């Protein structure tokens, strides 16, 4: 009975602590008698007491590392500070454990040297406008360099580019001057468009006034022509009626008197009549002859 109790105590002390459950996001690197034995993935595992040892516990999640700003010098000798963010993931726990001492520090130093090499080939303006190119090149270089360490670099981002204070002031002045220039251009374009619109409005107004004046003159001329036409029509109608009535000399003489009266147009107080009625009769006879000829 005592032996059984002792056996249970030994099992509890030696076996239970060596039963391990590995989670989905972890990998365990196992050494056996000082040498690499295996890598435990997620699930239930049992370690041999006094023989196996957990050398390293590695996370399989993507790791984000924000490195401190690094001093770099551009091609045109501008000294500035640049800090980067590296997104990497451990893909091989064995290589990560045995490939390099202090992997995070190694990635930081590799990032700093790569960044200096890339920016050293660019001028300041190119550095400020070529972040995507710098990010892409750095990711490619770091991913290739860290592959023997069991690390895959997914993305590299240049977080901040901090030029010297005097360069910043010069850039701010340049930006301010550029904004003022654009403002003046926009203002000049607005004034130009306004002048064009005003001129077009005046032009259209003048055209409309000329057309209105032309239309008025046409209508006035048409009215005068219509009045003359109606007057002549009335006169012709009067002559026709006289012809149809076969007016005698007395009637023609009376019409002659009326014509003489109309000649005065209401302005004369006296009408000079020929001394002899024969003259008037002659006028009447003449009108009669004219009427006959028209037949």
Cα(155)–Cα(166) distance, integer angstroms = 32
Residue 87 contacts residue 153 (beta carbons within 8 Å): yes
Query: What pLDDT is stored for residue 182 in this prediction?
Result: 85
Query: What pLDDT is stored for residue 277 in this prediction?
Result: 44
Q: What Å distances lie between residue 270 and 126, 254, 262, 263, CA to CA? A: 110, 17, 12, 12
Query: What pLDDT is stored for residue 265 in this prediction?
Result: 53
For domain 62-163, which architecture applies?
A: 2-Layer Sandwich (3.30)
113-116 long-range CB contacts below 8 Å, 24 or more apart? 114/138, 114/141, 114/142, 115/70, 115/72, 115/82, 115/84, 115/158, 116/70, 116/72, 116/73
Residue 127: how many CB atoms within 10 A of its CB? 25
Cα(73)–Cα(75) distance, integer angstroms = 7
Q: Which of 30, 36, 24, 35 is nearest to 48 (CA)?
A: 30
pTM over 0.75: no
Residue 101 contacts residue 122 (beta carbons within 8 Å): no
Location of structure tokens 């850039």: 171
Q: Specify the DSSP class assigned to residue 78.
A: -
User: What is the three-class DSSP state of 41?
Assistant: coil
Query: What pLDDT is stored for residue 254 in this prediction?
Result: 54
Q: Which of 166, 114, 176, 123 is nearest to 143 (CA)?
A: 114
Query: What pLDDT is stored for residue 154 in this prediction?
Result: 92
Domain boundaries, the chain: 2-59, 62-163, 246-295
Query: What pLDDT is stored for residue 167 in this prediction?
Result: 73
Q: Characterize the bridge pairing of strands 70-73 and 79-90.
A: antiparallel
For residue 19, the surrounding DSSP H or E stretch is strand 19-22
- What averages of pLDDT result for each successive group of 10 residues across the chain (295 residues)? 74 78 90 89 87 90 89 86 91 90 90 89 83 90 91 90 76 77 86 87 87 87 84 75 60 55 51 49 51 49
Which residues sit opposite 73 in a β-bridge? 79
């Amino acid at each position: 009975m005592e032996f059984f109790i002792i056996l249970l105590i030994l099992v509890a002390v030696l076996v239970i602590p060596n039963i391990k459950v590995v989670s989905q996001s972890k990998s365990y690197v196992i050494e056996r008698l000082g040498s690499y034995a295996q890598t435990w993935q997620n699930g239930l595992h049992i370690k041999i007491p006094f023989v196996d040892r957990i050398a390293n516990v590695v996370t399989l999640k993507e790791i984000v590392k924000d490195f401190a700003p690094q001093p770099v010098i551009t091609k045109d000798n501008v000294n500035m500070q640049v800090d980067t963010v590296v997104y990497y993931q451990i893909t091989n726990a064995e290589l990560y454990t045995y490939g390099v001492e202090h992997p995070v520090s190694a990635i930081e130093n590799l990032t700093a040297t790569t960044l200096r090499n890339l920016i050293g080939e660019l001028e300041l303006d190119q550095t400020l406008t070529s972040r995507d190119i710098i990010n892409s090149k750095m990711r490619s270089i770091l991913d290739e360099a860290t592959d023997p360490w069991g690390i895959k670099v997914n993305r590299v981002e240049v977080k901040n580019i901090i030029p010297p204070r005097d360069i910043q002031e010069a850039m701010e002045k340049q930006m301010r001057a550029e904004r003022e220039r654009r403002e003046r251009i926009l203002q000049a374009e607005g004034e130009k468009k306004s002048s064009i619109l005003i001129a077009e409005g005046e032009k259209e107004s003048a055209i409309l006034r000329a057309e209105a004046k032309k239309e008025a003159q046409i209508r006035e001329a048409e009215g005068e022509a219509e009045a003359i036409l109606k007057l002549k029509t009335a006169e012709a109608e009067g002559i026709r009626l006289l012809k149809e009535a076969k007016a005698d000399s007395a009637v023609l003489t009376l019409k002659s008197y009326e014509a003489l009266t109309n000649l005065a147009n209401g302005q004369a107080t006296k009408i000079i009549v020929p001394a002899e009625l024969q003259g008037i009769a002659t006028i009447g006879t003449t009108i009669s002859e004219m009427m006959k000829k028209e037949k």
